[in-house]
Structure 1
Amino acid sequence: MKDLCQQLRWRLLITAGAAALLGACQTSPVPSERFDVSDMETPRVEPGDPAESFWRDQVIYPFSVNYETVTDARGMAYEIAYMDEYRGDAAREDAPVLVLVHGKGADAGSFSLMMRDALERGLRVIAFDIPHYGKSIPGNLDADTYTRTLQDTREAIHELLADRLGIQGATFMGHSMGAQWALGYALDWPEQVDRLILAAPAGLEEYPRVLTLPGGELPWMDPEYKRDFEHWQAVWEPLGRLEQEWAKTEQDIRDFYSFRERDPDTGETREASVGFFLRDTQDSEFLTETRVGMIDGNQEEYEAWIIAFVRDIYTMGIESLSDDADSLVKRLDELTIPVFLALGERDPLLPTTAATGNEDMRWDVVRPAWEALSEQGAAPVVKFYDDAAHFIHVDEAEAFNADVVRFAYGATIDGTEDPGDYEQPAVELPDDVQAFVRSDEEAVLSGDMDAIMEHYHPDYRDEGRDRSDQRAMLSQVVPALSRYEIELTAFERDGDKAIVEGAIRTDFGSQSLPSGAMLIQDDGQWFWYGNQQ
């Protein structure tokens, strides 16, 4: 086969099918052999005594759980629960490693399907519980640990991974808050991270240090009180998040997790715009049942989970402050390793518009991150999953898990997109301006030149053309158009005029509006005004 490939190579280069045929002569970096993982348990919650540990005694993970006590840089000790599994035929210490980092409110047990698929393909998989989540809750109930930051947990788990388990290089896959955790870990210990997968990632947006509320300013993301739990609680209690979490009923949780809500008048169930899971799998069921089970489970463990679930909004925010020169976002250009950005097309939680002002996932979040990450290393791989919300590894487990395995082995991923091709989204226009735009589009497509020119001000002037010149130019173009769409990406009003940016899309392609293009309002009506040059 090798000799045949060498003989054919030069001939294939001049044929249309060269790339495909050459591919047959190359070996895929992903092993074709499937290893047996039939011993995996179905993650679940079993009945138990609320006086005992909910997480130790009632919650079953897909694989056996180990425990290690490690410390952060302050000397604070944490007990870390983790799974470390391998099914390949190479020596364990030589196997490629995949480290899984769960998100806020989740746990390592919810990666069962990803662990199975990765183990079948010969990866060694390590999945741990961040302190105050999952099986790391019972061993960290000392109130002093509640002031831990994400960086504290990175330091402690670095001791676990590097010193206890001897991991010298791995692919890290982090989901949501776990993606931010993995990003910070890669920035501080780059020698430990060979590849980085950020799924539905937190950590790519920056937050204001102070919130302006009706009652005044609230320093919700001030790092000054990160070691003072009572101070943090006093600042955050007005937001009501702790109280809201305690008040949730089993029905509230089941509805929200499945994108459902109840009509307040009739009590009937209807589809909601926000939630966690679009698809029912063993991992979505596990996450739902553990959240529901905590309500009547061990209350000390439940309190620890609720505190972490709410407080980690703060621990994430203080790493990504807009006024911090060393925020994670501003450090993205330090990374030189391959990065894979995975996002759900139907994610209702990104971007965090209310806190950051970001509105468009691709333009406001993905593209800036892609540009920063491209500065030192190769451009990141970016893929959106059509039928996934925030939990991509639950909603599109088969497709996403396959991509995770391929990326870990350095293989290419299909269906990616280039953020360099993104275009600025259209701005939300005032109603009367939207009406003007729609009227102009309809007039152009009607072909009626008098109707078209009613949208141009008598004093119109643009790039040397006055209104009559514009009519002459349009009269030549309009008859050939079957498509005419106006997309405004900026609208800045100053008195009766407004500077606009955007493009006009026709059968001939997209043409950007000239710099300084304007609309003018005259006697209550909007008109094209040109750039007056």
Structure 2
Amino acid sequence: MTVDAMAESAEADRPAYGAELEGFEYPWPVQRFSFTSQGQDLQMAYLDVAPEEPNGHTIVLLHGKNFCAATWEESITRLSEAGYRVVAPDQVGFCKSSKPMQYQFSFHQLAANTHALLEQLDIDSATIMGHSMGGMLAGRYALMYPEQTDQLVLVNPIGLEDWKQKGVPWQSIDESYAAEQQKTAEGIRRYQQSTYYVGDWQPEYDRWVDMLAGMYAGEGGDIVAWNQALTSDMVFTQPIVHEFGELQVPTLLLIGEQDNTAIGKAQASPEVQATLGHYDVLGEQTAERIPDATLVEFPELGHSPHIQQPEVFHEALLEGLEQR
């Protein structure tokens, strides 16, 4: 069997899921928030995990672009054990939530959707914690709803730099959609290994590759790819870095310094690529921009420190939350 044939066989053996991740089980019961937005009836899937011994605080976990509410599994467990009520939604366009063909995606809109969910749950205020793209969303939420944000936690957020301003070329939604349609489990795995886990790979990471790749591989793969393209444009064209100085809430930055994530990096010139994704520098710059920020750095970790070294990460997280 040729190498290409072996690769095709391996892809064929991967699981395929529905457009709303039907067939992939989350670690807690999935609930649904139905609402109307932009003239459409939509639903957000979410997890709402109650602690056995409540400490009176709620924390909302916002996933990244290649992640889902389920990816927070270890964090939800640790936070719940510490007494927090944990709410983890899947944003519109992602995972088990609606994937509209036409939707004006913006971080303002996703923040408003999230706020509506929390109102539905009678949550007046909460700690807002976001990872990757979810960090951009968490920042926008805190800017829009400072009175309802107890504190902000950013875990290797993207958007700590303005890629367009630095010279990364814009990519049309059609071009992005075509690229999304070519994604495979093996390609996703290679990217995650180099960016999320600093070249390391553990068997437990395969679950998250299968989760993401399975949506592309299923019958609804086209609408999944289309929503991914729409949200890529949102991420690229709506930088939040220029507004960090306006944040009014205490902010905890948890940064894996080996991260090199930068949207559109592959389309940039080698000269521009060399300037992008230096989280060992970006973390410090961001802490200086945010008025009330605490920075915790993990020198050996990448884009997903909460998955790569959960013990180290959650010790720092819980300590940071307690100090605040």
TM-score tier by shorter-chain length is: 0.7 to 0.9
Task: From 40, 43, 52, give the equivalent of 1:79.
Answer: 43
Deviation string, structure 1 residues 264-322 (Cα, Å, up to 9, x no partner): xxxxxxxxxx565734264x232111123234323x2x2232223233232122222xx
Q: What TM-score does the superposition give when structure 1 sets the normalisation length?
A: 0.52
Distance 1:68-1:243 versus aligned 2 partners, 3 A rule: same
* In the alignment, structure 1 residue 304 sits paired with structure 2 residue 223: yes
**By how many angstroms is 1:372 displaced?**
2.1
**By how many angstroms is 1:204 displaced?**
2.2
* In the alignment, structure 1 residue 100 sits paired with structure 2 residue 47: no
Aligned to 1:287: 208
Aligned to 2:88: 127
Aligned to 1:203: 159
Please identify the structure whose Cα radius of gyration is greater: 1
**By how many angstroms is 1:360 displaced?**
4.1
Q: Is the 8 A contact 1:346 1:390 kept in 2?
A: yes
Q: Is the 8 A contact 2:44 2:92 kept in 1?
A: yes
**By how many angstroms is 1:69 displaced?**
1.2
**By how many angstroms is 1:350 displaced?**
5.1
Q: What TM-score does the superposition give when structure 2 sets the normalisation length?
A: 0.83
Return 5+ residue gaps in structure 1 as ranges: 1-46, 214-219, 222-234, 260-273, 321-327, 412-533
2:196 and 2:88 map into 1 onto residues whose CA distance is 25
Aligned to 1:143: 101
Distance 1:77-1:142 versus aligned 2 partners, 3 A rule: same
AA matched with 1:372: R
Aligned to 1:525: none
**By how many angstroms is 1:210 displaced?**
10
AA matched with 2:48: D
AA matched with 1:243: A
Which secondary structure does the structure 2 equivalent of 1:258 belong to?
Answer: helix
**By how many angstroms is 1:352 displaced?**
7.5
Aligned to 2:192: 257
1:57 and 1:336 map into 2 onto residues whose CA distance is 39
Distance 1:65-1:349 versus aligned 2 partners, 3 A rule: same
Aligned to 2:243: 331
- The 10-residue stretch of structure 1 (398-407 or 338-347) with the greater mean CA deviation from structure 2: 398-407
* In the alignment, structure 1 residue 172 sits paired with structure 2 residue 128: yes
Return 5+ residue gaps in structure 2 as ranges: 1-13
**By how many angstroms is 1:396 displaced?**
1.6
Aligned to 2:113: 156
Q: Is the 8 A contact 1:105 1:305 kept in 2?
A: no
2:262 and 2:250 map into 1 onto residues whose CA distance is 23
Which secondary structure does the structure 2 equivalent of 1:343 belong to?
Answer: strand
Deviation string, structure 1 residues 153-191 (Cα, Å, up to 9, x no partner): 211221111x20111221111001000000000000001
Aligned to 1:441: none
Q: Is the 8 A contact 1:88 1:95 kept in 2?
A: no
RMSD over aligned Cα atoms? 2.9
AA matched with 1:337: V
Task: From 232, 235, 248, give the equivalent of 2:183.
Answer: 248
Deviation string, structure 1 residues 475-515 (Cα, Å, up to 9, x no partner): xxxxxxxxxxxxxxxxxxxxxxxxxxxxxxxxxxxxxxxxx
1:281 and 1:70 map into 2 onto residues whose CA distance is 38
Q: Is the 8 A contact 2:142 2:149 kept in 1?
A: yes
Distance 1:279-1:345 versus aligned 2 partners, 3 A rule: farther
Which secondary structure does the structure 2 equivalent of 1:305 belong to?
Answer: helix
Q: Is the 8 A contact 1:351 1:361 kept in 2?
A: no
Residues matched between the structures, number: 305
Which secondary structure does the structure 2 equivalent of 1:160 belong to?
Answer: helix
AA matched with 2:229: V
Deviation string, structure 1 residues 374-419 (Cα, Å, up to 9, x no partner): 2xxx3x11122133211111112111122222323336xxxxxxxx
Task: From 26, 29, 48, give the equivalent of 1:61.
Answer: 26
The answer to which structure has the higher helix fraction is: 2
2:64 and 2:127 map into 1 onto residues whose CA distance is 17
Report which structure shows greater RCO (CA 8 Å, sep ≥6). Answer: 2
Identity percentage over the alignment? 24
2:218 and 2:112 map into 1 onto residues whose CA distance is 30
**By how many angstroms is 1:59 displaced?**
0.6
AA matched with 2:101: A
AA matched with 1:70: F
Which secondary structure does the structure 1 equivalent of 2:88 belong to?
Answer: strand
Distance 1:406-1:71 versus aligned 2 partners, 3 A rule: farther
AA matched with 1:83: L
Q: Is the 8 A contact 1:96 1:124 kept in 2?
A: yes
- Listed as ranges, the matches of 1:436-451 within 5 Å are none
* In the alignment, structure 1 residue 181 sits paired with structure 2 residue 123: no
Distance 1:79-1:205 versus aligned 2 partners, 3 A rule: same
- Listed as ranges, the matches of 1:397-476 within 5 Å are 397-410=310-323
Deviation string, structure 1 residues 8-67 (Cα, Å, up to 9, x no partner): xxxxxxxxxxxxxxxxxxxxxxxxxxxxxxxxxxxxxxx9887xx364531100100100
- Listed as ranges, the matches of 1:188-227 within 5 Å are 188-208=144-164, 220=170
Aligned to 2:237: 318
